[in-house]
Structure 1
Amino acid sequence: MSLNVYWAMAFILPKGVIRAVEKRMRHFLWKGNSAVGYPKVAWSDVCRPMEEGGLGIRDILALNKALMSRHLWNVIQSNQSSIWVQWIAHTHLRHKSVWTVDAKGGSWGWRKLLRLRSALLPYIEFKVGNGEIFSIWHDPWHSLGTLIRRFPSGPSRTNIPIAAKLSAVIVDGDWSWPPITDMECIEILHLLPNIHNGNDSILWRGGEFTTTWPMVYSGLRVL
């Protein structure tokens, strides 16, 4: 494992550090050492994959985000084998959903990590089971996304408590929603996902995170 990959995996790197490292890389590439050199092409083009005409040098900022997203994935999965995840749950989440928890008041690193939520979401599948894990309003199990963000007044308009789990609207393995007459919130009843046997589960699309993280890197490279 190269040194830059190790640090990019362990910490969220300040942009000042990233700029300093990339400056050294640019100078070395153009001059053969760390002295000042003259760039031949834009650094963003150099960082493109070879099949796109670049040199395949990884963009450090995108690499850092992609590697750090593994930590966010562990939080999303509530990986209790990780002491760090347990600490995050106790210190930052406190029974709140990682998808809607407010980053204000958190540490600099925690705020940066939460910014990766939208980048990871397209790679994650929420498989509805008995409904005892997923929050109706705070987890993005629905095709509309996180319902409390889509319908901020939804709990009062539907009389479904804001803290309710999906199990409140599942009976004998089928959906059993109370009548929703609000014309805005009735959209919730459209395109409901299938219900599966067993517990609710969160899956990484396309296999394991460790084998598909390059997809995340490619996505973050254009953000």
Structure 2
Amino acid sequence: MGGLGFRNVDDFNTAFLAKQLWRLIEVPDSLFARVFKGRYYRNSNPMDPIRSYSPSYGWRSIVSARSLVNKGLIKRVGSGDTISIWNDPWVPAQIPRPALSNGPFKDPTLCLTQFMDPQTNTWHRDRLFEHFNPVDVALI
């Protein structure tokens, strides 16, 4: 229909705030990040739910974009020893998410390293099929 090309200002603002939050995560040595870190998340990271005394309008606005940033975050497997199989978003689906179980029981003691062969850096496919949904095995 054409139009004047106006964007949804709320969506544009949320995207901008998410970009600033991502910048705090990715460039922690910038002046911008050091100022916010010193004031609001000294011993953690900007994605942690931190309660601060009298937060600024800017910080409250940036924190409001956490849910949008969380939607796109995925844990990289690497060695797999820091990933919670059933809680962390590590499966590379359309929207990153935790693995889906193959049955009703989810063994909380499972580690991702138990599904990997450290010598060849490959997956133990039989173990994957034993514990995870076949759709997830294909994605993994």
- The CA deviation at 1:67 is 0.8
| Partner in structure 1 of residue 65 of structure 2 | 113
Structure 2 CA distance, aligned partners of 1:127 and 1:92? 17
Instruction: Summarize the Cα distance change of 1:92–1:129 in structure 2 as closer, same or farther, 3 Å threshold.
Output: closer
Q: What is aligned with 2:28?
A: 80
Q: Is the 8 A contact 2:77 2:90 kept in 1?
A: yes
Contact 1:69 1:116 in 2 (8 A): yes
Q: Which has the higher contact order (CA 8 A, sep 6+)?
A: 1
Q: State TM-score, norm by structure 2.
A: 0.52
In the TM superposition, residue 112 of structure 1 has moved relative to its aligned partner by 1.8
- Structure-to-structure mapping, 1:140-155, within 5 angstroms: 140-143=89-92, 145-147=96-98
Structure with more helix by fraction: 1
Which amino acid is 1:140 matched to?
P
Q: Using the TM superposition, give the Cα deviation of residue 88 of structure 1 relative to its aligned residue in structure 2, in angstroms.
A: 3.9
RMSD over aligned CA atoms reads: 4.5
Match of 1:80, SS state, is coil
Contact 1:131–1:167, Cα closer than 8 Å, also in 2: yes
- The higher radius of gyration belongs to 1
After alignment, is 62-71 or 169-178 more displaced? 169-178
Q: Report the Cα distance in structure 1 between the residues aligned to 2:114 and 2:27, rounded to whole angstroms.
A: 25
Identity of aligned residues (%): 18
Unaligned 5+ residue runs, structure 2? none
Give the count of matched residue pairs: 123
- Letter of the 2:122 counterpart: D
Q: Report the secondary structure of 1:157's partner residue.
A: coil
Q: 1:187 aligns with which of 128, 133, 137?
A: 133
CA 1:127–1:181: 2 relative to 1, 3 Å: closer
Please list every run of 5 or more consecutive structure 1 residues that lacks an aligned counterpart in the other structure.
1-51, 194-223
The letter of the residue matching 1:139 is D
* Correspondence for 2:3: 54
Shift of 1:113: 1.6
